[in-house]
Chains A and B, each alone.
Chain A
Amino acid sequence: MATAQPKKLTKKLEKSVREMKLRKFVLKLYITGATPRSTRAILNIREICEEHLQGRYKLEIIDIFQKPVLARGEQIIAAPTLIKKLPLPLRRFIGDMSDREKILIGLDLRPKK
């Protein structure tokens, strides 16, 4: 994490930070067909993942046109929607994933200001 590490950090905290760094991310991106917005969202989120979560993420891209039942099951309203399944808490991102800052904060990869 990008947190400045104070010298008097307890071991416990160190451990949890280590664990955080090793967390697996499970992400699902729901899109609606091959629209420019969908494409943009896919490119954007792939870029973020490669940059910040290399090797420890699983990104699944689902076209709800193909699987409308999933839209109901996953409570999708807006498209595109990215759902962070893991680590908890669950979080949703809607839009074409162009607001990188918001996504990083939402994924707990960057502290809130």
Chain B
Amino acid sequence: MARKKTGMVLSGHGLKKAATGIQGLDEITGGGLPRERPTLICGSAGSGKTLLAMEFLVRGARQYNEPGVFVAFEENAEELSKNVASLGFDLNDLARKKKLIIDYVYIERSEIEETGEYDLEGLFIRLDHAIRSIGAKRVVLDTIEALFSGLPNQNILRAELRRLFRWLKDKGVTAMITAESGNGTLTRHGLEEYVADCVIILDHRITDQISTRRMRILKYRGSVHGTNEYPFLIDESGISVMPITSVSLDHPASTEMIATGIPRLDAMLGGKGFYRGSSMLISGTAGTGKTSIAMHLADATCRRGEKCLYLASEESKNQVIRNGRSIGIDLEKWTKKGLLRFHSSRPTFYGLEMHLVSIHKIVNEMSPAVVVFDPISNLTAVGSGAEVQNMLMRLLDFLKFRCITSLCTSLTSGSGPIELTEVGISSIMDTWILLRDNEYGGERTRVMYILKSRGMAHSNQVREFVITSKGIDLVDVYVGAGTVYTGAARVVQELKENAEAVARSQDTGRLQKELDRNRLIMDAKITELRAEFESREEELKNAIRQQEAKEKVLAADRGIIAKTRKADVRK
């Protein structure tokens, strides 16, 4: 990137900017601080002013090859380098390489006596000398307000400060001036009157005993900038700012499908699992196997050789690994291979924004393919529903934008409708799988169903599943008529149906036999009738013959009689 090389960013109207290199800050300022102009950083004690300023210089020196001068009014060079050593900033090394000069300005009110007119030319000369000696492009004055307590004549001081800021502009250095926030005013001594180009406010607020650092750009002359309060985090690698407003709806949509690790669940989801870069919510009451499904996904991801980030907000890494083993999932080997990374932190450890920032940071570091958040529901411990929803939306958006698949589990309370997730985030989820306990006939069985799955021809069946030592398995679909049974009830029903089937088949046999028998009977009867008929026929024929013979005999007899009686024959 060109920006990396020069640290210079041009905005639309030609205002030159100096990239700070601080994660997130360049995003919300649209490229950095106004180049060759002073920027005022104000905040209360402990809000991170000095650190921000120091990181500005260190990153400038390291990443953009812009040496810097740090004028410290409160801490000496040794204290400063000790303080920032924990962030991996080796100030002594930078000083040796002539990339950084720390000039400690010591003012002790009790030693100073004002004896007439003076100016702050001494400070100018020191600064000028320091800038020249290393060709500095960046200057930090931390905290220049110390002058107000050191020098009693405010009129001279104010005039001189005005001159100083003018002078800094003329020098062409990008300056950062820190100041304590005052009571009702931005800074205690009204420095904002002099530094008007860019004002950043740092804040350290405590809500519900959880403190969150926030940053806001109050003004930025000649540039568009984010106007919200952005939470930021100070950790071992410095400051990271989370730009909230990056919630946009133009993330890419992948058509690649990835497996959940449970083949039959994939089948339910239309065959191949769910879309890469989509978000999946698994909600259910306690003990329904949400984490087990999450572990399956983590395992399947690593099996493909992809990286997975497991955010556990309830269990420790070791606990998840142990529990995984009990269902036949070995997550430990993936952590050893570096494919799986756990990040366990109690929700109450810090505020929602902080969680978000830290997740951002890890995701940026390891760029995983899948992020598992288990569970999201106890985030409500640190924020109201709307806040959690907002935070998750930002998180999901961030992940989607990077085409990172996410799986969140959510605990629903036993009472109330099961379709209601605690944090009301279902609308921003692409796939929502509901897990449920069915209590029936003295046992609980686990069932799951896909409540929604965007862009997929998913099954509408309520499926029973079992958690075995080999993981989650979906039980065969009950395809009988009538109600869908689960658990022992299903087995009973199946047995019953088997018995019925046997009975039915026996019935058929009996009828068949009867038919056969009937046919036999009929055949027998036919034979009998024929025999009868035949014997009858014989009889009757005999009778006929006898009759005819008789007739002949009779006729013959009659002739004889007629001859005897001399009967004449009519003619």
Which A residues are within 8 Å of any B CB, using their own CB?
A: 30, 32, 37, 40-41, 44, 64-65, 68-69, 71-72, 75-82, 89-99, 102-103, 105-106
Q: Is B122 an interface residue (CB 8 A)?
A: yes
Contacts of B120 in A (CB 8 A): 77-79
Q: From B104-112, B178-186, B298-306, B360-368, give the one contacting chain A.
A: B104-112
Residue pair A72, B126 in contact (C-beta under 8 Å) = yes
In Å, the complex CA distance between A102 and B353 comes to: 55
Residue pair A79, B114 in contact (C-beta under 8 Å) = no
Which residue of chain B lies nearest to A36 when distances are taken between CB atoms in the complex? B117
Closest chain A CB from B270 CB (angstroms): 72
In Å, the complex CA distance between A77 and B122 comes to: 4
In Å, the complex CA distance between A37 and B116 comes to: 10
Residue pair A30, B122 in contact (C-beta under 8 Å) = yes
Known contacts: A68-B129, A72-B103, A72-B129. The answer to whether A77 contacts B123 by CB under 8 A is yes
Total contacts A-B at CB 8 Å: 102
Contacts of B118 in A (CB 8 A): 37, 78-81, 94-96
Residue pair B113, A71 in contact (C-beta under 8 Å) = no
Residue pair A96, B115 in contact (C-beta under 8 Å) = yes
Contacts of A71 in B (CB 8 A): 122, 125-126, 129
Q: Which of A71, A94, A102 has the most CB of B within 10 A?
A: A94
Closest chain B CB from A7 CB (angstroms): 34
Which residue of chain A lies nearest to B105 when distances are taken between CB atoms in the complex? A77
Which B residues are within 8 Å of any A CB, using their own CB?
A: 103, 105-107, 111-123, 125-126, 128-130, 147, 150-151
In Å, the complex CA distance between A99 and B118 comes to: 12
Closest chain B CB from A53 CB (angstroms): 16
Known contacts: A32-B125, A72-B126, A77-B107. The answer to whether A92 contacts B112 by CB under 8 A is yes
Closest chain A CB from B558 CB (angstroms): 180
Q: Which 3 A-B pairs have the closest CB atoms?
A: A95-B116, A68-B129, A98-B116
Residue pair B112, A32 in contact (C-beta under 8 Å) = no
Known contacts: A77-B107, A79-B121. The answer to whether A93 contacts B113 by CB under 8 A is yes
Residue pair B106, A95 in contact (C-beta under 8 Å) = no
In Å, the complex CA distance between A59 and B115 comes to: 17
Contacts of B130 in A (CB 8 A): 72
In Å, the complex CA distance between A41 and B116 comes to: 9
Residue pair B122, A97 in contact (C-beta under 8 Å) = no
Which residue of chain A lies nearest to B103 when distances are taken between CB atoms in the complex? A72
Which residue of chain A lies nearest to B160 when distances are taken between CB atoms in the complex? A78
Residue pair B113, A64 in contact (C-beta under 8 Å) = no
Q: Is the interface of B mostly helix, strand, loop or mixed?
A: mixed
In-complex Cβ contact of B113 among A41, A44, A94, A98 (8 A): A94
In Å, the complex CA distance between A64 and B117 comes to: 18
Contacts of B112 in A (CB 8 A): 92-94
Residue pair A97, B123 in contact (C-beta under 8 Å) = no
Which residue of chain A lies nearest to B112 when distances are taken between CB atoms in the complex? A92
Q: Is the interface of A mostly helix, strand, loop or mixed?
A: mixed
In Å, the complex CA distance between A30 and B112 comes to: 14
In Å, the complex CA distance between A98 and B125 comes to: 23
Closest chain A CB from B459 CB (angstroms): 76
In-complex Cβ contact of A98 among B106, B115, B129 (8 A): B115
Residue pair A97, B126 in contact (C-beta under 8 Å) = no
Contacts of A97 in B (CB 8 A): 115-116
Q: Which of B111, B118, B130 has the most CB of A within 10 A?
A: B118
In Å, the complex CA distance between A80 and B122 comes to: 8
Residue pair A79, B113 in contact (C-beta under 8 Å) = no
Closest chain B CB from A10 CB (angstroms): 30
Residue pair B119, A79 in contact (C-beta under 8 Å) = yes
Residue pair A79, B122 in contact (C-beta under 8 Å) = yes
Closest chain A CB from B542 CB (angstroms): 159
In Å, the complex CA distance between A8 and B106 comes to: 44
In Å, the complex CA distance between A80 and B126 comes to: 14
In Å, the complex CA distance between A91 and B115 comes to: 12
Contacts of B106 in A (CB 8 A): 75
**Could you give 22 example pairs across A and B, Cβ below 8 Å?**
A30-B122, A32-B125, A40-B116, A44-B116, A64-B121, A71-B125, A71-B126, A72-B130, A77-B105, A77-B151, A79-B125, A80-B118, A81-B118, A89-B111, A92-B111, A92-B113, A93-B115, A94-B113, A95-B118, A96-B118, A97-B115, A106-B113
Contacts of A77 in B (CB 8 A): 105, 107, 120, 122-123, 126, 147, 150-151
In Å, the complex CA distance between A77 and B150 comes to: 10
In Å, the complex CA distance between A30 and B123 comes to: 12
Residue pair B114, A95 in contact (C-beta under 8 Å) = yes
Closest chain B CB from A35 CB (angstroms): 8
Residue pair B111, A37 in contact (C-beta under 8 Å) = no
Residue pair A102, B122 in contact (C-beta under 8 Å) = no
Using A78-B122, A96-B118, A98-B116 as known contacts, list a sample of 5 further A-B pairs with CB atoms less than 8 Å apart, ordered by residue number in A. Answer: A64-B122, A71-B122, A75-B107, A77-B105, A94-B151
Q: Which of B106, B112, B115, B123 has the most CB of A within 10 A?
A: B115
Known contacts: A32-B122, A77-B123. The answer to whether A102 contacts B128 by CB under 8 A is no
Which residue of chain B lies nearest to A89 when distances are taken between CB atoms in the complex? B111
Q: Which of B120, B122, B151 has the most CB of A within 10 A?
A: B122
In Å, the complex CA distance between A77 and B103 comes to: 12
Which residue of chain B lies nearest to A65 when distances are taken between CB atoms in the complex? B125
Contacts of B115 in A (CB 8 A): 82, 93-99, 102-103, 106
In-complex Cβ contact of B129 among A69, A82, A96 (8 A): A69
Residue pair B116, A68 in contact (C-beta under 8 Å) = no
In Å, the complex CA distance between A112 and B474 comes to: 94
